[in-house]
Chains A and B, each alone.
Chain A
């Protein structure tokens, strides 16, 4: 395992914190969008784009790049924030999110530099990631394909079709991450569909399964290191997270799955809490 310096850990935490701040600013400016599942995935985005993935913001279509599919497309605020911070486009552009003149569509679209796949209709991104992983094998390329899935999303049958095929095709260049924040639009996932034992399910479908705290950047880094030790299986990282993480009134509730702060008071409170979190890093 590689050494991870305390500075690197701090940097990644600060980026996750910045992604949270930008997420709140984007959804508030747009008066729409999905903060809950963006906030839960902030550390995952920070590690992927600032530690893990081999991408080139100056050349977003670089053929050797690692691919990323945001299968849970509604986490677009956090995704766009990560892309902007990484340099794919300017941070100023972020507040145009969801507006008519903007490239930053409500859900990821190929108009946005750095986006590898259109997503938004849940359950489909893992299939696209399989296609990219198969193409890498066909072309003898060493890039990896990452897909971020929501836990509500995996209620879709298409995901399990894809899960079986990825294992059948021995796609050890494919890494899925499930943002296990336990809440979907209407309610807690387990009140809608019982997903547990989730780790065992993926294992039974032929995947190597790693279970981590999805807010701990070191655990995310270590899990991704293990995922890249090729053993003929695709890897899924079950990242246990908190929906709405970092904004007290958004945490552990379905209410802010797809709603911005409701007024200026809520908006300022969210930013203040994120600022406090930053100071503690």
Chain B
């Protein structure tokens, strides 16, 4: 497949600048990572509404809460590991519980952070954030979708967690596509198995489906950008239709997309499934694409999981 690659972080920064022009009430907070998260683009344009607070993720979340309580629409950014893990209690007590208008947009989610290694590779954040009442969780599939999602959360009241990845992503969706919150998108239809993926894993799911086609297996591919609330109807529909589901995510196989899908299946329409993701292990240093291969989370990994599942299904 031929895709254009684009940095999702840059798309985030550019969208923030657009929103800053449209809306006086938007303020942006960062904790000394603004050149990486790209909030610096907003800061350059709107210095009076940009607060780079230094290495204070906990304080940043509390300040975000106070600004939101005073009528501001607040974006806070850091790496996923710090924005969620480091500041979890502040996010819980000061943002989630009072349901304040704070958008946590974290970059560097997952093992694809790469060379920085396990300390910086956040593989628990989707679980942490889905477990918080009042929070909604979105993992945009590409830079085009990042623009739509950032725009959406800016105009929708309340707390959101948006997870971005470090590497550039292939633009699978087009600029004109629509983002429908809470709905998965069927990128390719199929009858024998369904591959449900999120974020960086979606392009690998598409490649895996292509390989499966060559074996005469018709695989559907679903982009599940919204992890919470998850698109139950679509999961049930494809469980009925194909009877087998593989999930793929750049996250621990516990408490992420795979777990969400499993919950829906078990309660509604149990079919066999397999989860592709980090196998409850900390990552390690390496190039991001090498790591996906190493942990069998690339197209070959998804392909193999699908083949294995179809064997069991027989």
Residue numbers of A with Cβ under 8 A of B are: 63, 67, 69, 109-110, 116-121, 123-136, 138-139, 157-158, 161-162, 164-165
Stretch at the interface among B93-101, B183-191, B206-214, B215-223: B93-101
Indicate whether B169 reaches chain A with its CB closer than 8 angstroms.
no
Closest to A73 in B: B93
Q: Is B235 an interface residue (CB 8 A)?
A: no
Chain A residue numbers with a CB within 8 Å of B90 are 124, 127, 158
Binding site for A on B (CB under 8 A): 27, 48-49, 51, 53-54, 56, 58-72, 89-90, 92-94, 97-98
A119 CA to B56 CA, complexed, in Å:
19
Q: Are B63 and A119 in contact (CB under 8 A)?
A: no
Please name 27 pairs of A and B residues whose Cβ atoms are closer than 8 Å in the assembled complex, sorted by A. Answer: A69-B66, A116-B69, A118-B98, A121-B89, A121-B93, A123-B58, A124-B94, A126-B62, A127-B59, A127-B60, A127-B63, A127-B65, A127-B66, A127-B94, A128-B65, A131-B65, A131-B68, A132-B69, A134-B63, A135-B66, A157-B58, A158-B58, A158-B90, A161-B58, A161-B59, A162-B63, A164-B56
A136 to chain B minimum Cβ distance, whole angstroms, is: 7
Q: Check if B93 sits within 8 Å of A134, measured CB to CB.
A: no
Q: Are A110 and B98 in contact (CB under 8 A)?
A: yes
Beta-carbon contact of B69 and A138 below 8 Å = no
The answer to whether B69 and A128 have CB atoms under 8 Å apart is yes
Write out the residue numbers on chain B whose beta carbons fall within 8 Å of the beta carbon of A138.
Answer: 27, 48-49, 72
Alpha-carbon distance A125/B62, docked complex (angstroms)? 7
Task: Name the contact of B69 in the complex, choosing from A120, A131, A162 (C-beta under 8 A).
Answer: A131
How far is it, in angstroms, between the C-alpha of A120 and the C-alpha of B89 when the chains are bound? 11
* 7 more CB-based (< 8 A) A-B contacts, given A131-B66, A132-B69, A135-B72: A117-B94, A124-B94, A130-B62, A130-B66, A162-B63, A164-B56, A165-B63
Query: Is B93 touching A158 in the complex (CB atoms < 8 A)?
Result: no
Q: Which residues of chain B are within 8 angstroms of A109 by Cβ–Cβ distance? A: 97-98
* Residue numbers in A under 8 Å from B69 (CB-CB): 116-117, 128, 131-132
For the complex of A and B, list the 10 residue pairs with the smallest distance between their C-beta atoms, beginning with the closest: A131-B66, A127-B62, A135-B70, A161-B59, A128-B66, A131-B67, A131-B63, A121-B93, A161-B56, A118-B98
Q: Which of A69, A131, A165 has the most CB of B within 10 A?
A: A131
Of B69, B72, B90, B97, the most chain A CB neighbours within 10 A belong to B69
Residues of B within 8 Å of A129, CB to CB, are 66
Q: A110-B98, A118-B98, A124-B90 are in contact. Are A162 and B51 (CB under 8 A)?
A: no
Asked whether B54 lies within 8 Å of A165 as measured between CB atoms, the reply is yes
Determine if B59 and A158 form an interchain contact, defined as CB atoms under 8 angstroms apart: yes
On chain B, the residues within 8 Å of A135 by CB distance are 66-67, 70-72
CA distance A3 to B61 in the complex (A): 41
Q: A132-B69, A132-B70, A165-B56 are in contact. Are A124 and B93 (CB under 8 A)?
A: yes
* Alpha-carbon gap, A123 to B66, bound state (A): 14
- Shortest CB-to-CB span from A52 to chain B, Å, is 20
In the complex, what's the smallest C-beta–C-beta distance from A119 to chain B, in angstroms? 7
B64 CB contacts on chain A under 8 angstroms: 131
- Complex: how many Å from CA A258 to CA B293? 54
Residues of B within 8 A of A162 (CB): 59, 62-63
Do the beta carbons of A130 and B63 come within 8 Å of each other?
yes
Please measure, in the bound complex, the distance between the C-alpha atom of A116 and the C-alpha atom of B65, giving whole angstroms: 11
Closest to A108 in B: B98
